[in-house]
Structure 1
């Protein structure tokens, strides 16, 4: 049968996991193996074809004299190599004979059967593509069985059985692959987290690698789900705490204690707006947010302290909980800054962030989240995309954040501006900015016109249709104050 692959002693040694062969003496040759022959006696060596790999079967010890004779006879037959199934170490005379004859002399690892080795090498020499496909299929079957295992060592166990089936070692490289088409890419969700690297590149490995990588991806996803399940449950609670009416707090606080979330401690919140820098696709935006959430979980959970990551809409809420103090705020600023660097290093994500002040208890968590959200929204609205903005500890923004944290206040302020919203997005924006500038200028059309770069008559014209739409009396101080607060909150929120 014609040989379809170039089998050599060197190739057999490279497939150590498959064949279990070790070079005892002689060169690591690239001479092709034309045949595979077995011999159970020294006399049988005279009958093997030339250019064969000869396997000396039997489990009984062989004397030094018999080893020397076997090497001389194999060299006389121009053998491609000589394998001793029951020899682990050669005497010095045999080693010198093998070196002079340039004959590779191999030993078989403990526990390996010589007859099975003979058949396996014969398939390797004669099989060609069919041998590669058979090994690939065996590796995939072994991986499928191992993928059903549970536990923290499931990935390692899978790689061990696959490596044995393939005859080469597979290593999990935690460095994220740069090419999504990498056949060994390990993907969690849509996030590239690692890659499988074989120490031997052959047909069987190339066929099996994508399927094995997919199974490892499934195991990694299961591992992450198990690892972060409590964190994801607490994340849902955090979202409820941030958004709920105050009357619901006692019930949510009870849930927090049940989930071992120390809501009574101090909290610092970072609010991150995650945007895809390349497209405006909603599908792509969701994918980017999922990848950012996974990276945040992996990065922050490796840092000291209690960190929580929640997802709300297209934003990430990062919460650091611990003892009150300035150190808590400094740590969040540093670690969130590093996280933003990790996320933006890939080049296709823009992160605009806001950082709240340290606050204690469930109300404090809501307050810090409101401050962080207002700071992030303000940065975005004023053209500072990509920045991490801190909320001021005192002053107007904190007051506005407190207003914004209350659903009742948000609803009341939104109702005041609803007639402008009904005019459409563009006209509402013009009305909002004009009214805000006019009220900030203490109802002076001239000063408002300077801020808006308009003629005072244009401001007066706009104010007529704005007041008509709102049905508001701007001569009333309470009305002016309420509208000014509503405009400020709306503008800070972008």
Structure 2
């Protein structure tokens, strides 16, 4: 019975992974195949309908003599065959090649490992087309993926894709180079975030049915791989957060935990502090969106840094990302952390939906050094944010005020005392407190001259004098007292950097 399919020899060859066919002689025509017929003997060729693709089955059981191949080509030509397939044959004698070329008859061979009957049925189902072939290929590919889902090792995903591709009859490529949409049917999702996508070599009904299921299996494998790879690192990341935030009296206990987790806390550390913000929102963003952006930034950092030399830790602290590079003293650790974190900031900024403001601490040894480098990095990030230097990595200065402030900032007691000094201004509201701190800082920088402070603030000197009166009344202080003036100046400096 004639088929309605538009299948052709060239189409069969494009599905090389499925059929294992190769062109041995003649052209790869686009002429539609009307029938598929099997032939055990040369006599069977005469019974094949015209415009058939004839599969010679005997080649898989015993070698066919050269003269019989010549006869088969002549008979197929007289039957106006769409093509001739020798199951298990990988080459033709030269006489057969010349006969096929003159007759414009496509002659194909197949891999020796596949039986002729199985090949005949598969080609027939493909030529008939329709839902049955689509469903059979898709189901076979999904089953192949599920069978390979428990594989481990660096080549596990590749082995799974190869098994699924063989069933579908086309290659499947894992593309990790570009942005991936959540709605992409081949999206590989890790922790709710698309990290890669599967790209099939053919976009037909079977691949469209199977691709989402295969991508889901690959997603589970990737999640399992990340959990296994980063589980110790995530535990150490939580410990790092505690070490950065704790009071110094708690540090010895945390250091003991660090050794138990094989975290070489006695080595040298360089800390980078990244502020992650939503580029699309100007007046604040939702908690869910902020958490999503931070998780995506963390995942990107983990995926990038685990392939780099050295020891890396990535931790989330509030809405910020803390990256710690750890190594031996005397190594170019600072340069390496600056380079890798700078590359990460550039990659995140290229997305267009994330604003990153980064600060980098100096190399410091031991647990106290880790805390100090983190404090430096945080102050540097605050300074970059105040200067609106987003998309950059600002380094802490090795000497000077920021380093002193960073040391103060690393102490919960110092932070608490300096915050208490300005608490009366904070009670007046955010806007009034900001005016008060800015005016005091300009006044102190001007060495107590309201006139010079007015020039910096672009105000009249009388306006500065008025501000100073209500500020001192609110604080209940005397600016003529040296210790008070010094404490206020330190508090204002820290507040402005932290802002």
Does the TM-score normalized on the shorter chain lie above 0.5?
A: yes
1:256-335 matched pairs, under 5 angstroms: 256-279=258-281, 280-282=284-286, 283-325=288-330, 327-335=332-340
Kept in 2: contact 1:325–1:358 (CA 8 A): no
Give secondary structure in 2 for the equivalent of 1:47.
coil
Instruction: Tell me what 1:147 maps to.
Output: 149
- 1:462 pairs with 2:472: no
Kept in 2: contact 1:21–1:106 (CA 8 A): yes
| Farther off after superposition, 258-267 or 477-486 | 477-486
Distance 1:293 1:225 in 2: 14
Instruction: Tell me what 1:81 maps to.
Output: 83
- 1:436 pairs with 2:438: no
Pairing partner for 1:242 from 241, 244, 251: 244
The one-character-per-residue Cα deviations of 1:220-241 (angstroms, maximum 9, x if unpaired) are 2222222222222222121111
| Farther off after superposition, 397-406 or 310-319 | 310-319
What is the aligned residue count? Answer: 494
Kept in 1: contact 2:360–2:380 (CA 8 A): yes
Instruction: Tell me what 1:341 maps to.
Output: 346
Instruction: Tell me what 1:480 maps to.
Output: 485
Kept in 2: contact 1:176–1:192 (CA 8 A): no
Distance 1:299 1:180 in 2: 21
**How far did 1:244 drift?**
0.8
Distance 1:438 1:87, change over 3 A: closer
Instruction: Tell me what 1:409 maps to.
Output: 414
Distance 2:17 2:337 in 1: 48
Distance 1:260 1:105 in 2: 64
Distance 1:2 1:239, change over 3 A: farther
The one-character-per-residue Cα deviations of 1:278-314 (angstroms, maximum 9, x if unpaired) are 2243333332222222222232332322222222122
**How far did 1:406 drift?**
0.5
Kept in 2: contact 1:186–1:216 (CA 8 A): yes
Pairing partner for 2:133 from 131, 136, 157: 131
Kept in 2: contact 1:371–1:397 (CA 8 A): yes
Give secondary structure in 1 for the equivalent of 2:355.
strand
The two structures have a TM-score, normalised by structure 2, of 0.92
Distance 2:89 2:335 in 1: 66
| Farther off after superposition, 343-352 or 171-180 | 171-180
Gaps of 5+ in 2: none
**How far did 1:377 drift?**
0.2
| Farther off after superposition, 388-397 or 457-466 | 457-466
Instruction: Tell me what 2:451 maps to.
Output: 446
Name the Cα RMSD after superposition: 2.2
Distance 1:243 1:457 in 2: 43
Distance 1:5 1:246 in 2: 77
Instruction: Tell me what 2:365 maps to.
Output: 360
Instruction: Tell me what 1:423 maps to.
Output: 428
| Farther off after superposition, 463-472 or 163-172 | 463-472
Instruction: Tell me what 1:213 maps to.
Output: 215
Kept in 1: contact 2:18–2:170 (CA 8 A): yes
Kept in 2: contact 1:271–1:376 (CA 8 A): yes
Distance 2:101 2:302 in 1: 58
Kept in 2: contact 1:60–1:86 (CA 8 A): no
- 1:196 pairs with 2:198: yes
Give secondary structure in 1 for the equivalent of 2:90.
coil
Distance 2:70 2:340 in 1: 68
**How far did 1:178 drift?**
6.1
The one-character-per-residue Cα deviations of 1:16-53 (angstroms, maximum 9, x if unpaired) are 22122222222212111111111222222221111111
Distance 1:6 1:177, change over 3 A: farther
Distance 1:31 1:269 in 2: 66
Distance 2:474 2:3 in 1: 89
Kept in 2: contact 1:4–1:129 (CA 8 A): no
Distance 1:173 1:449 in 2: 59
Distance 1:84 1:329, change over 3 A: closer
Kept in 1: contact 2:269–2:369 (CA 8 A): yes
Pairing partner for 1:92 from 91, 94, 113: 94
**How far did 1:181 drift?**
4.8
**How far did 1:151 drift?**
3.5
| Farther off after superposition, 423-432 or 435-444 | 435-444
Instruction: Tell me what 1:24 maps to.
Output: 24
Give secondary structure in 1 for the equivalent of 2:153.
coil
Distance 1:140 1:225 in 2: 24
Distance 1:327 1:70, change over 3 A: closer
